[in-house]
Structure 1
Amino acid sequence: MVSDRFRTALRTAPLAALLAVPLAGCSTFDSINPFGSGEKYETKILAETPASDIYDQGLARLQKKDGAGAAKKFAELDKQYPFSDWSRKGLMMQTYANYQAADYDTAITTGKRFYQLYPNAPDAPYALYLQAMSYYQQIPDVSRDQENSAKALDLFQQIVTKFPTSEYADDSKFKIQVTRDQLAGKEMSTGRFYLNRRNYTAAINRFREVLAKYQTTRHAEEALERLTEAYLALGITGEAQTAAAVLGHNFPDSPWYKDAFAKLQADGLQPNEDASSWISKVYHKAVG
């Protein structure tokens, strides 16, 4: 414990005298101060790795099927050479490497960042395509939520609209049909669920979505047949006849039309299209 007399001496001693007193306890300070151990540290400037070398190292890892390692290498370009062409190339390759590594969420993030920073770059459509494919690879079966299908569809449509002459446009058009079919399948699955439980109004709403949004998919035929069935169950014969008539007009050889026709006949009815029906308006407008 420091005595009162020593405290008084410290307060009254001239500053020059205190500065002249050697630090007798420096060895004690060194023992508790990690920076006072007497070691000498030299400041070294590490040589900067050329951007081309980092890029080549990333490519080498890709060749070895090490997508995750390649992505890390390409990420170094953005850190060491920000706002440069190498940074742009690295970000694009980082997206590709993440996709190859099946790290789809990260590929979506880096691809989105690339497109936001370089929307007019030659690789911009590829950035959109990799994002779309990352969602596409995560599409589940129709019994589950189809959020990834919807996001993939949106991105594929952007490619076709904004970059119609790009090398990714044709494949995007094909995958638009696949994702639309998936989304229609989800609506049909839910509609059948309601139909089986005799919740006809809810079922009709789902089948209506198929006709309004996904009428060019393979599910349109079944949707029209299911509408015939649901409207007959509700006693709304005019709409049932219209659904069957539209089905027969557009898909005369469809087994779904045969089923719809048989259901109408069982009730003493025939297909008969009412031009004022929402089915006639929505279907023909959508197809046209």
Structure 2
Amino acid sequence: MSVSKFRSGLVLAAVAVSALTVTACNSGARRPRLAYEERPVEQLYNTGYQRIQSRRWSDAIDYFQEVERQHPYSEWSRRAILMQIYAYYQDNHYQEAIAAADRFIALFPGNPSAPYAYYMKAICNFEQITDVGRDQGYAQAALTGLRDVARRYPGTSYAIDATVKMDMVNDQLAGKEMAIGRYYQRANQPLAALNRYKTVIDNPAYQRTSHTPEALYRLVEVNLALGLKDEAMRNGSVLGYNYPGSVWYSEAYALLSEQAAAPEVAPTAQRESWLRRLIPG
């Protein structure tokens, strides 16, 4: 699985509450860093918010950083950090967004907006997940963060969304195990392949992923190659019991039949998926 870029409506949830405009102000010219000039906090904040609305993320960050610099530990500073998290995230500056979230958590750990900061840390890692052929460090970091959100804030919209994404990340990590297993199998290293496929079968979080049927089938293949017919039959039976209509079971059944070790349960007709009914072919 390759997790595509995701812009959840939740990323705006806490920000929308804190995005309070008080007075209008004239927009200033873009500059790398705002020169220090003491200005009303409302003017700084509202200018930053106007930049957010115009999707001028870097400009917005400059103004919100100035709010934080000139009015530290204030209510305005709290709001400004939240807005920086959002602006950095929208500008694909994920590490800076995570740093801002960490800063908010350190300064305001018990604030009602803390769940948003924890959630955004996880989402920033989630959106950097790459295909299974690459290192899965971001996937592991995302999974840790999402679990933290679900544990800290059960029943919230953040926890619900985190739970859904945890399943997606587990599918990604299981896919990585399968890719490595197939590599070892092609390289004629059956024991190494066996261990990878077993990881998918034995890990409760991976058992619910889309890779489980193939993992069972690959165990049938590898065990037959190793001469372990009884173990191959056992894996085939588990595959047939849980996924009787799977194409992987049909393949496993045919393979075991060649060895006179076919499971008792024959493959059932594969049900046509709802997607195939909507989009034939």
SS for the counterpart of 1:168 is helix
Task: Report the Cα distance in structure 2 between the residues aligned to 1:74 and 1:175, rounded to whole angstroms.
Answer: 30
Question: Does the Cα contact within 8 Å between 2:254 and 2:262 map onto a contact in 1?
Answer: no
1:73 aligns with 2:63: yes
| Structure number with bigger Rg | 1
CA distance in structure 1 between the aligned counterparts of 2:223 and 2:187, rounded to whole angstroms: 14
Structure 1 segment 98-247 matched on structure 2, within 5 A: 98-213=88-203, 214-247=206-239
Shift of 1:72: 1.9
Alpha-carbon offset, residue 170 of structure 1: 2.3
**Deviation of residue 138 (structure 1)?**
1.2
Deviation per CA, 1:86-135, whole angstroms, max 9, x where unpaired? 22211111111100111111111111222233222111111122112211
Q: Show structure 2 runs of 5+ residues with no match.
A: 1-35, 265-281
Equivalent AA in structure 2 for residue 200 of structure 1: P
- After superposition, the C-alpha distances for 1:61-104 in whole angstroms (9 at most, x for unaligned) are 11111112211211112211112222221111111110011111
In structure 2, what residue type is equivalent to 1:167? S
Identity %: 41
On the 8 A contact 1:115/1:124 being kept in 2, the answer is yes
Q: Is the 8 A contact 1:125 1:166 kept in 2?
A: no
In the alignment, the residues of structure 2 paired with residue 122 and residue 237 of structure 1 have an alpha-carbon distance, to the nearest angstrom, of: 58
Task: Name the structure 1 match of 2:7.
Answer: none
Closer, same or farther: CA 165–55 of 1 in aligned 2, 3 Å: farther
Q: Name the SS for the 1:181 alignment partner.
A: helix
What's the counterpart of residue 249 of structure 1?
241
Following TM superposition, by how much is the alpha carbon of 1:52 offset from its aligned partner in structure 2, in angstroms? 2.0
Does residue 51 (structure 1) correspond to residue 9 (structure 2)? The answer is no
Structure 1: gaps of 5 or more residues? 1-45, 273-288
Shift of 1:47: 6.9
The one-letter code of the counterpart of 2:230 is G
Deviations 1:7-65 (A, max 9, x none): xxxxxxxxxxxxxxxxxxxxxxxxxxxxxxxxxxxxxxx97322222111110111111
Query: For 1:140 and 1:60, how far apart are their aligned partners in 2?
Result: 33
Amino acid in the other structure paired with 2:180: T
Normalised by the length of structure 2, the TM-score is 0.77
Distance in 2, matches of 1:53 and 1:217, equals: 51
What is the number of equivalent residue pairs in this alignment?
227
RMSD across aligned positions (CA): 1.6
User: Which residue identity does 2:126 align to in structure 1?
Assistant: Y
2: distance between equivalents of 1:100 and 1:63? Answer: 12
Superposition deviation, residue 227 in structure 1: 0.6
Q: What is the distance in 2 between the residues matched to 1:204 and 1:55?
A: 58
Distance 1:210 1:237 in 2: 21
Task: Give 3-state SS (helix, strand or coil) of 2:157's partner.
Answer: coil
Quote the offset at 1:139 in angstroms: 1.2
SS in 2 for 1:122: coil
Distance 1:187 1:101 in 2: 32
Q: Matches of 2:175 and 2:221 in 1, distance apart?
A: 18
